[in-house]
Structure 1
Amino acid sequence: MSSQPRVLTVGTGAVGAIYSWRLSKSCNVTTVCRSNFDIVKEQGFEINSAKFGEEVFKPDNVVRTVSECVDSEPYDYILITLKALPEIYNCADIIAPAVSKNTTIVLIQNGLGVEEPITDRFPENPIVSIVAYIGTSQNDPGKITMVGRESLVVGKYHAAKTDSDEQRQKFSELLIKGGVDVQFVDDVERVRWQKLFWNSAFSPVCAMTGMNTTEVLENEEAMNAVKQERGSPMEVEVILGTPLKRAKAKGLKVPYLELIHSVCSASNSFALKQSKKAQL
């Protein structure tokens, strides 16, 4: 049995690759890869980071699905860095084959309410909810670029059914060993709201126009552009839908939020249909 903590990363895109890489300095890391599986399995991740430098990161194990990596030795941590797309899949269902009695489930995802499917399905498992501030992308399979600094905000999720103070501290120490900037807060939900103000304002506009935030801020016509988003689903529900539902539950009128939610939902629906056609 490995003396190192065992980490399973589910959703190893740019963010997942960066933090799996940093955790690998003190952990045994398995990554679940889909579109980038072949190249990562053979060559690893080619990472260029302004903060951490350049390196080829080869995970201890690379698999296509969670079911492929379930064995007699349980995982200490399951790190979820998938896009939060509740209208397409349930993250709890995806990780279920690998969850054991003592597994701590770690979320590094955008949006509100991302913890709920996990706590509903696994009420006895500790949950660590993290908000990431990082600029990273995977423009080609297995090739990761990270610009600037990064920071992870680790906070208490008060709606959790199981105490996770000890697990939060231990996982944070693993991140810190890898050079990650970790901040601690008492209420992670508050931080999610703070990041949401930015995400809900800029993410839909960037997605619908095909521009990044710098281009949007520099281009006065960006708000009126009607370019089709690149085709990958947007996190519409956790960034726009959940705040909209909570506003309506309080009797608040949010017409602009309602409008952008409708537009982005329609765009998502179109992108999904095109994706399914391409797979036929």
Structure 2
Amino acid sequence: MGGLEALQPGGDPERPVHIVFVGAGAVGCFYASRLHHPAHNIHVSLIARSNYKALADNGVHLQTHTFGDYTFRPHAVFPSVAAAAANPNSSGAGPRGWDYIIVTTKALPDRSDDSALIAPLVGPHSCIVLIQNGVGVEQPYRARFPTTPIISAVTIISAEQTSPGTIRQNRWTRIHLGPYSNSASFSASSPPYPRGDDTTGALTPTGSVPSPASPEAPTSSTLQQTGSHLSALLADWWTRLGGIRDVDASDELALQTVRWHKLCINAAFNPSAVLSGGRGNADMVFDPELRLHLAGVMREIWEAAPRILGRGFPAYMANPEKILKSTERNVGSKPSMLLDWEAGRPMEVEVILGNPVRIARARGVEMPRLQTVYALVRSMQEVRERRKKEGGKL
């Protein structure tokens, strides 16, 4: 594997492993706290924004269902990526010396190119880990970093930041990990996200790295092999050292299958909650017409997945009918897209709706229900933001 063969974080007990989390919200802080083990030479740092002072002064206070209450004091806390890249003394990693760069921010590729954001952190022996919603989130990173191992991760966790620096984990946590080569690619012949005149984040490699077609670039099988090894290390540390029971390290196809299964839920419930005027999950399920609509969106994804992934969902994964039935118990719950809409924040429209449509279309598969929902929700957001910019009523 050439240079990648030497990438063995944790293989040498005398060599410290340095991990940095980009995003210090509830998900990032929880997983960081279960990965920080200085006694085993594994050191975790955080890059925080609005809660930087609280974390730097007092660490992270966690109130968890699984592990009780405890305080996590990171190896270092940085107010920005630039600070983490330029301050080797407080991190111990040195410039571009991060072994793992774990991204847990909201995926908003239509607003910013997070692959460009983390570029100052990525070195020759780094691995990028993406714990984010949606599908196709890996593509901008692969385009920018064609030789860097990427781990794609899907989590199901009930956690929230109740105040700056205080995280509450309400129930179980489950995380799936797998290598990523280029399986979720889609056409880059035109800008993939509506940006107006802003072309930031176009899916083309930048910087002085080999293009994927160059002879020195690693092959997909090499990236998968290296990513699998690094996924297994993370899974081991989170289970054996961190005590998280539900950690699954799988191959690339299995991981993308998990992403598309979670998409069945997210792509149906998230935008529908916004379009229905703010109704919660259980409320929508008990409305006969909305239930038919939700089932239709999920079945469309369910039937398209085998043509996109090359295989269908395994029998153990809940089908649309089971998902709808279990959602009846989810009384009072609002999906994240509705919470963002009500708070006036940008929604994850592209990774939950736009990317699936583009990825499917690139493989000759049309999803008219999902495309309709995508067009409407994207338009709602654009209209509201235009009115806000013009000073009009929302």
User: What TM-score bracket applies, with the shorter chain setting the length?
Assistant: 0.7 to 0.9
Corresponding residue for residue 230 of structure 2? 167
Distance 1:122 1:107 in 2: 13
Report deviation, 1:100.
Answer: 0.6
- The more displaced of 209-218 and 165-174 is 209-218
Provide the aligned C-alpha RMSD in A: 2.9
Q: Secondary structure at the match of 1:110?
A: coil
For 2:4, the equivalent position in structure 1 comes to: none
Change (3 A) 1:201 1:66: same
| CA distance, structure 2, for counterparts of residue 213 and residue 16 of structure 1 | 25
Q: 2:62, 2:71 within 8 Å by CA — same for their partners in 1?
A: yes
1:97 equivalent in structure 2: 120
List per-residue Cα deviations over 1:77-117 (Å, max 9, x = no partner).
Answer: 00011111110111211111111100111111111111111
Listed one character per residue, the Cα deviations across residues 207-229 of structure 1 (whole Å, up to 9, x for unaligned) are 56556535554677989xx9952
Name the SS for the 1:232 alignment partner: coil
**Structure having greater relative contact order (Cα 8 Å, sep ≥ 6):** 1
Structure 2 residue 261 is matched with structure 1 residue 184: no
User: Structure 1 residues 276, 130: CA separation in 2 closer, same or farther (over 3 Å shift)?
Assistant: farther
Flag structure 1 segments of 5+ consecutive residues without an equivalent: none
Q: Which moved more, 1:84-93 or 1:206-215?
A: 206-215
1:184-208 CA-partner distances (Å, limit 9, x unpaired): 3222111111110011011223456
1:99 to 1:158, Cα distance in 2 relative to 1, 3 A:
closer
Letter in 2 for 1:83: K
> Aligned ranges for residues 123-202 of structure 1 at < 5 Å?
123-159=146-182, 161=220, 162=223, 163-176=226-239, 177-180=241-244, 181-186=246-251, 187=253, 188-202=255-269
1:246 and 2:359 matched: yes
Matches within 5 A, 1:1-280: 3-26=15-38, 27-70=42-85, 71-72=87-88, 73=94, 74-159=97-182, 161=220, 162=223, 163-176=226-239, 177-180=241-244, 181-186=246-251, 187=253, 188-206=255-273, 213-214=281-282, 216-217=284-285, 228-250=341-363, 252-269=365-382
The one-character-per-residue Cα deviations of 1:135-161 (angstroms, maximum 9, x if unpaired) are 112243222221211111112334274
Structure 2 counterpart SS, 1:167: helix
Deviations along 1:61-82, one digit per CA (max 9) or x if unpaired, are: 1112111012452111000111
Tell which structure's C-alpha radius of gyration is larger.
2
User: 2:334 maps to which residue?
Assistant: none
Q: CA deviation at 1:234?
A: 1.4
Contact kept, 8 Å, 1:130 with 1:155, in 2: the verdict is yes
Q: Select the structure that is richer in strand.
A: 1
Instruction: Give the percent of matched residue pairs that are identical in Structure 1 and Structure 2.
Output: 33
Partner deviation per Cα, 1:6-62 (whole Å, 9 max, x = no partner): 111001111111101111135311111112222222222222111122122222211
Structure 1 distance, partners of 2:163, 2:279, is 18
Range that drifts further, 158-167 or 90-99: 158-167
| TM value normalised by structure 1 | 0.86
Say if 1:85 and 1:149 are closer, same or farther in 2 by CA, change over 3 A.
same
TM-score, L = length of structure 2:
0.63
Q: Secondary structure at the match of 1:24?
A: coil
- What amino acid is the match of 1:193? W
Number of residue pairs the alignment of both structures matches: 276
**Higher mean Cα deviation, 59-68 or 207-216?**
207-216
Over 3 Å counting, the alpha-carbon distance change for 1:255 and 1:18 in structure 2 is: same
SS at match of 1:23: coil
State the secondary structure of the residue aligned to 1:159.
Answer: coil
Which whole-Å CA distance do the structure 1 matches of 2:289 and 2:161 have between them?
27
CA 1:265–1:215 in structure 2 vs 1: closer, same or farther (change >3 Å)? same
Using the alignment, how far apart are the partners of 2:103 and 2:25 within structure 1?
11
Structure 2 distance, partners of 1:16, 1:152, is 12
Q: Could you tell me whether the CA contact under 8 Å between 2:232 and 2:249 is conserved in 1?
A: no
Letter of the aligned partner of 2:269 in structure 1?
A: F
